[in-house]
Structure 1
Amino acid sequence: MDTPNNLLRELESLEVSSNQDWSKLCPDLLRKIIESLSSIDYHRTKHVCSTWYHVWKTCAKRRLCPWRIIYQDKTYKLLDLGEDKIYTTQYVGLSDNTYFMGSSGNWFLMVDSHLDLYIFNLLTCEKINLPSMDSTPIRGGHREWGHFVEPCRKDRVSEDIYGHKRSGAVVWINERTSDYFVAWIFKQHYLFTYKKGDDSWWNWNSNWETGGKNLGYLDLAYKNSKLYLYTTNNHIKIIDFSGDFPVEETENNRYRDHPFKAPWIEGAFVMTPRIAIEKSGEVLVILSLNIRQELSYYVFKMNLESGKWKKVVSIGDDEMIILCHGVTVRAPIQDVGDGVKSGSIFFVEDCDRWPTYYCKSDCGIFDIATNTIKWHEKPRERTNKSHWFAPRF
């Protein structure tokens, strides 16, 4: 079996010059080198050039396994559970003054201390700046911020977005075409969306009214050019962003007339519902519950024939949920250990704001079928936050 050192000696024996065209390196040798790299470098090689990308596609596939990122001052530890490795590094674009809002694969939606939003690739350090939200100082040294959004008026929100409270947010990006979409909720009453090519942020706060009161939003998800919104009246709205202008789906929204009604559970305190979209396109509603000081998760799915929501104990043979991610992610073919398996929910304390006095750590993995939790050890060092994310290999 070739080792990294043997591969390096083989590469050195080629006696390539400094002006050698590395895109013409022997594919078999290049494949061996790529497969011997760490997970992070393995991912980065596909961005070198088109030739390397095509060789990368023929490499042995890495195990599909969510990673855990731990913020510690200006250092970030990446825990790869699939390979049982820890990567410690510093990243330009992430710091103590940035706040995580949402993620899609390696791409993180961030807001910094200047209240500027951007998308950041955790593995390649690519950064995409988003339109600013016009910031204006006010008395007391605090800030308000807003932006002239279509169609006609300016809304202001406060800098509470940067702090301990999580606002619902989704980000999606197509790495091949560089198309992307971002949506986020502020204080349940503001919804902002931005699609690559838009002139400004879209503000949806004034678009819907029920009974004279603005409709609120509890959570959101995005898949196949459609934004799914879980509203404060327990309905699911769907906005189609595939065209030049977003359009609400009404006739094709099979959830429209079937609001979710959480069941009464004795002794349980229910946190804010979350949603996730399955590979099939069906909506899952996830309830986080405190049942007699024990954390649990219930997953519900609507029967498309009867229109009734039912609790499920399985979400498919090859799907997992990263809470607050918005969509299910592919599970490894075989159990990795440490709770990483099909039918799992990866959660962190920041998603639900559940009381920490009865929890063993700030994150863990919940097994839907067995109703058990695998708590992951909390680092001894002081940490700001930790998150789960699913790298795209």
Structure 2
Amino acid sequence: MDQNQKKKKKKANRRRQKEEVMGVSNWSELCPDLLRCVFKRLSFTSLDRAKAVCSSWHSASRGCVPKQNQIPWLILFPPNEEANSNSSCGFYVPEDEDKVYRSRDLGVDFARSRCLTTCGSWLLLLNPLMDLYILNPFSGERIDLPDTQSLRLRYLKYVRACLRIDNKTKCYLVVMLHSCVFAKKGDNKWHDLPLLTFNKDFVYNHKDQMLYLQDLSNPYLVNIWDLSGDHPRKDGAVSLGYFRFNHYDFPSFLSEEDHELYWEKLRGSMNRIVITVSGEFLMVSSIVQHCKSWYFRIYKTNHVGGKWVKINSLGDEALIYDMGITVIANDIPGIKRNSIYFSSLDHDKKDTHHIFVYDITTQKMEPLPQCVFSFLPFSNARWFFPC
């Protein structure tokens, strides 16, 4: 075959391929079963984009559950001033790098509400009238909870709550920790939890549906509650052993002789309990300095003697500080192993310098992309796991 014949054949092949592509049916006419096979393999954000392609794709996506989300998102809440006209929230998805998504308009009530906790894609909110409700910011679904007049909600700063909700059935269980009451789907009033003691700190592990309460009168005791049923059930207690905040463990504490500089810089310090993937308890100490620098130290109990010892790595896990849990972070795009995802949620610091990812290896704060904070004004933020 000479050179001219080769060129003609190559040209004919390209023409035939083009004709074949041009002859493909409209993408909106793809078989719904085929679309569903593809949709169930997509991530949360990819499935959301696919739904918006056309009406037939949106119809085929109904009932499709996206691939289990394994990375934390940051939700940005709108300013709650009366003059604020913005009633939507923003979502920063680390997997999508420099992109921030805006939710639908969620109404004035949402803009003036405070988020107490999250469960999957659902938010537990308290509005200025002291009404409690559950809201899905993606679908706009809202569930109003029983009247709160009997609850002690006067001091909003101290209101703590726990939420469990099923995405399909919408069966929920809400526990108001400060008021020692709970309510479930179908209830028109709150029920007392007499055995629930006041707590210093708490962690709700969505994976095993267990609530861990650090006792206020005895901070070395953790009471465990099972929230998997219709009623919260006490499931024992664990003694963590004595723990004392050790300022010597932080890099800026030079020596006893130079301690004045450390205390001069210090603006706050605290401890919190954490539950690992394997169910092990950790204690996380943190300090913040006047230069807006944060430092963290992590401790676990030594199996020999039960004493707390400092550890320098979380291995293949990442700590979601807002939720008090660790998650698997090895080889998962969008989440960094051996890091702490922090939003200063309990520190009353509505400042972009206090929302970051902390690298435990380098002991340095890694700020989020500037687009996250310039996208829209916000009053608060927290990390969560939509599903």
Q: TM-score, normalised by structure 2?
A: 0.70
Structure 2: distance between partners of 1:96 and 1:353: 18
Structure 2: distance between partners of 1:313 and 1:364: 19
Give the 3 Å change call, closer, same or farther, for CA 245–379 of structure 1 in structure 2: closer
Post-superposition shift, 1:103?
1.2
Structure 1: distance between partners of 2:380 and 2:192: 29
Which structure has more helix as a fraction of its residues?
2
Give the 3 Å change call, closer, same or farther, for CA 123–51 of structure 1 in structure 2: closer
Structure 2: distance between partners of 1:115 and 1:174: 24
3-state secondary structure, aligned to 1:132: coil
Question: Structure 1 unaligned runs (5+)?
Answer: 1-5, 15-24, 135-145, 148-155, 209-214
Give the 3 Å change call, closer, same or farther, for CA 194–333 of structure 1 in structure 2: farther
- In structure 1, the residue matched to 2:81 is none
Structure 2: distance between partners of 1:175 and 1:82: 23
Give the 3 Å change call, closer, same or farther, for CA 257–280 of structure 1 in structure 2: closer
Q: Indicate whether 1:102 and 2:120 are aligned.
A: no
Structure 1: distance between partners of 2:289 and 2:61: 54
Which structure has the larger Rg over C-alpha atoms?
2
Identity %: 25
Q: Indicate whether 1:91 and 2:105 are aligned.
A: yes
Structure 2: distance between partners of 1:110 and 1:248: 26
The within-5 A match list for 1:362-373 is 362-373=354-365
Range that drifts further, 112-121 or 296-305: 296-305
Post-superposition shift, 1:82?
0.5
Alpha-carbon deviations, 1:319-347, whole Å to 9, x = none?
Answer: 322222243344362454xxx40222211
- RMSD across aligned C-alpha pairs, in angstroms? 3.7
Structure 2: distance between partners of 1:290 and 1:12: 54
Post-superposition shift, 1:366?
1.0
Give the 3 Å change call, closer, same or farther, for CA 91–343 of structure 1 in structure 2: farther
3-state secondary structure, aligned to 2:102: strand
The within-5 A match list for 1:242-321 is 242=228, 246-250=232-236, 253=237, 255-256=238-239, 258-265=241-248, 266=253, 267=262, 271-290=269-288, 293=291, 294-304=293-303, 306-317=305-316, 319-321=317-319
- In structure 1, the residue matched to 2:76 is 70
Which structure has more strand as a fraction of its residues?
1
Structure 1: distance between partners of 2:190 and 2:281: 26
- In structure 2, the residue matched to 1:193 is 182
1:171 equivalent among 151, 158, 163:
163
Post-superposition shift, 1:365?
0.8
2:373 equivalent among 373, 376, 379:
379
Alpha-carbon deviations, 1:97-153, whole Å to 9, x = none?
Answer: 11111112211111112211122222222222222212xxxxxxxxxxx24xxxxxx
Give the 3 Å change call, closer, same or farther, for CA 166–347 of structure 1 in structure 2: farther
Post-superposition shift, 1:198?
5.9
Structure 1: distance between partners of 2:113 and 2:47: 22
- In structure 1, the residue matched to 2:202 is 220
Structure 1: distance between partners of 2:61 and 2:48: 16
Structure 2: distance between partners of 1:192 and 1:291: 37
3-state secondary structure, aligned to 2:27: helix
Amino acid at match of 2:284: I
Q: TM-score, normalised by structure 1?
A: 0.69
Question: Structure 2 unaligned runs (5+)?
Answer: 1-21, 53-57, 79-85, 254-261
